[in-house]
Chains A and B, each alone.
Chain A
Amino acid sequence: MAAEMAREEVMNTAAVAHAKTCLRCARRLANERMLSGIVAAAVAEDSERVAPPEVEKRLIAAFRKQLAASQPRRRALWTGAAVAAIAAAVIVTAVVSLHRTAEPPKAQVKPPQAYQEPVRVPVAVPAVREVRKPRLRTLRASRRNPVGPSKPQAMEADREHMTEFIPVFYDPEPIEQGQIVRVRLPRAALTAFGLPVNEEHAEEKIRADVLLGEDGLARAVRFVK
Chain B
Amino acid sequence: MTEPTHLADDDLLRRMDSGDEAAFTTLYRRRHPAVYRFALQMSGSPSLAEEVTQEVFMTLLSHRASYDGSKGPLAAYLYGIARRQVWRRLALRRRQLPIPAPEDEDARTPESLIAHSQVERDLVRDEAVRGLRRAILALPARYREAVVLCDLHELTYVDAARVMGCAVGSVRSRLHRARALLSERMASRKSSSSGCLV
Contacts and interface: CB of A to CB of B under 8 A. Distances in A.
Interface string A1-45: 100100000000000000000000001100110111011011101
Interface in B146-198: 151-152, 154, 156-158, 162, 165, 168, 179-180, 182-184, 186-187, 190, 198
Q: Which of A31, A109, A111 is the most central at the interface, judged by chain B CB atoms within 10 Å of its CB?
A: A31
Nearest to B74: A115
A60 B28 CA distance: 10
Given A35-B183, A113-B80, A121 B25 contact: no
Interface in B58-75: 58-59, 61-69, 71-72
B58 A31 contact: no
B29 interface: yes
A35 B65 contact: no
B103 interface: no
Interface in A37-62: 38-39, 41-43, 45-46, 49-52, 55-56, 58-60, 62
A43 B154 contact: yes
A45 B131 CA distance: 14
Nearest to A45: B129
B80 to A, nearest CB: 6
Contacts of A194: none
Contacts of B138: none
B183 A28 contact: yes
B43 interface: no
B108 interface: no
A38 B28 contact: no
B64 A119 contact: yes
A174 to B, nearest CB: 27
Contact of A115 (B24, B28, B71, B182): B71
A10 B80 CA distance: 31
Interface stretch (B15-23, B94-102, B111-119): B15-23
Smallest CB-CB A-B distances: 7 pairs: A104-B65, A31-B183, A118-B65, A51-B36, A35-B183, A51-B53, A31-B187
Interface of A: 1, 4, 27-28, 31-32, 34-36, 38-39, 41-43, 45-46, 49-52, 55-56, 58-60, 62-64, 66-67, 71, 97, 100-101, 104-105, 108-119, 121
Interface of B: 14, 16-19, 21, 24-25, 28-29, 32-33, 36-37, 40-41, 49-50, 53-54, 57-59, 61-69, 71-72, 77, 80-81, 84, 125, 128-129, 131-133, 151-152, 154, 156-158, 162, 165, 168, 179-180, 182-184, 186-187, 190, 198
